[in-house]
Amino acid sequence: MRRITSIVLLITVFLIPVAMLASIEIMVHFNFYEGIRQKEKKQPAVAASYYLKPLGKKGLILDSRQSEEKAKLKRIYNLKDVKPLLQAKWGWKQGETTKKYREIILNGHDYRVQLALRKSKDGFRLEVLAKAREKSKKLLDTEMTLPEENRAIFGFEDSLGKIYFLSFYRESRQSLTLVNPVELSLEQVPILIKRVEPIYPKEAVEENIEGTVIMELIVDKKGDVASLKIVTGEHKILNRAASEAVKQWKYQPYITDGVSQSVKFAIILDFFFD
């Protein structure tokens, strides 16, 4: 008689406090690019001063991925290439007023890019400052609407004819919870409310193959298995049978402080004969 049993297991990883994960509700990715012209402008023989001026105040809103973003910038501005210079991630709790910022140095001059939430829905305030000893000068101070899974891009040109871009991409709440799931111990694993039994593969039965499959699950805030990864499994045929069944499982949503959270934990499936 063939049997399959399962238990849950805590995977040991570097844990992030639950309170910290729950507090990050808005995540923005900041990227800084240099645009390479088809034909670079000749650098002036004498430059009285170095400056950075915005190409526009409203910015460009795109609903594309990073690779597509670069291609669109090249096409729109007739550029030879778009080269990434730096990147950062900024996270906020809803209603938080803290300004997130990053320092940039161009040709020996210091600039600060800072972003803050506004009270309006999907609203942000962007400021770009040229830092000086006595008083910083604002090069750009604008408000923008940045919905989830969209990006806003602002272009600048310096006195040497070089073009730079500031790009801001906002993650969706769903993707954010899947990126940072709550790590659960054995006692915290949510209740399994729908279980599809794995089918012991015919080939494994014929060849008397037994084995243990350990897989790591990420369960979304609705209780569905959003992703799974095989941690240990010596037989691919058993791994496949386990994955096909478990991806159909459904759990009771995991709720903390009245908010549903995505969670991560592991399960063990034992394929064996009595």
As a whole number, mean pLDDT of residues 260-273 equals: 89
Of 175, 204, 227, the domain-final residue:
175
Q: Is the pLDDT of residue 21 over 50?
A: no
Domain that holds residue 146: 25-175
Cα separation, 52 vs 161, in Å, equals: 10
Position 108 scores a pLDDT of 85
Q: Which of 3-12, 149-158, 185-194 has the lowest mean pLDDT?
A: 3-12
Quick one: tokens of 148?
């989830």
Placement of tokens 């799974």 in the chain: 228
Question: Domain check: are 8 and 41 in the same one?
Answer: no
As a whole number, mean pLDDT of residues 92-116 equals: 90
Q: Is the pLDDT of residue 7 over 60?
A: no
Question: Domain check: are 170 and 185 in the same one?
Answer: no
Query: Phi, psi at residue 240, to the nearest 5°?
Result: -65, -40
Cα separation, 223 vs 260, in Å, equals: 9
Residue 230: which CATH number? 3.30.2420.10
User: What is the count of structural domains for the chain?
Assistant: 2
Question: Domain check: are 88 and 42 in the same one?
Answer: yes
37's torsion region: left (phi>0), alpha (psi -120 to 50) or beta?
A: beta
Quick one: tokens of 50?
């170095």
Predicted model pTM: 0.60
Q: Compute the Cα dihedral for 173, 175, 180, 184 and give only its sign.
A: positive
Q: Is the pLDDT higher at 93 or at 250?
A: 250
CB 62 within 8 A of CB 144: no
- Name 5's bridge partners: 270
Q: Is the pLDDT of residue 114 over 80?
A: yes
Of all residues in the chain, the percent with pLDDT exceeding 90 is 49
Beta carbons within 10 angstroms of residue 30's beta carbon: 18
Question: Domain check: are 92 and 113 in the same one?
Answer: yes
Q: Which residues of 200-217 are buried (b: 16+ CB within 10 A; e: fewer)?
A: bbeebeeeebebbbbbbb
Of 143, 175, 207, the domain-final residue:
175
CB 254 within 8 A of CB 191: no
Average per-residue pLDDT for the chain: 84
Beta carbons within 10 angstroms of residue 185's beta carbon: 10
Q: Is the pLDDT of residue 67 over 80?
A: no
Give, for 139, the enclosing helix (H) or strand (E). strand 137-145
pLDDT in tens, 130-175: 987 778 889 999 999 999 889 999 999 998 889 999 999 998 876 6
Q: Is the pLDDT higher at 196 or at 50?
A: 196
Question: Domain check: are 87 and 14 in the same one?
Answer: no
Of 175, 203, 218, the domain-final residue:
175
Question: Domain check: are 171 and 188 in the same one?
Answer: no
- 16 confidence band (pLDDT: 50, 70, 90): very low
Question: Domain check: are 156 and 238 in the same one?
Answer: no
Question: Domain check: are 163 and 197 in the same one?
Answer: no
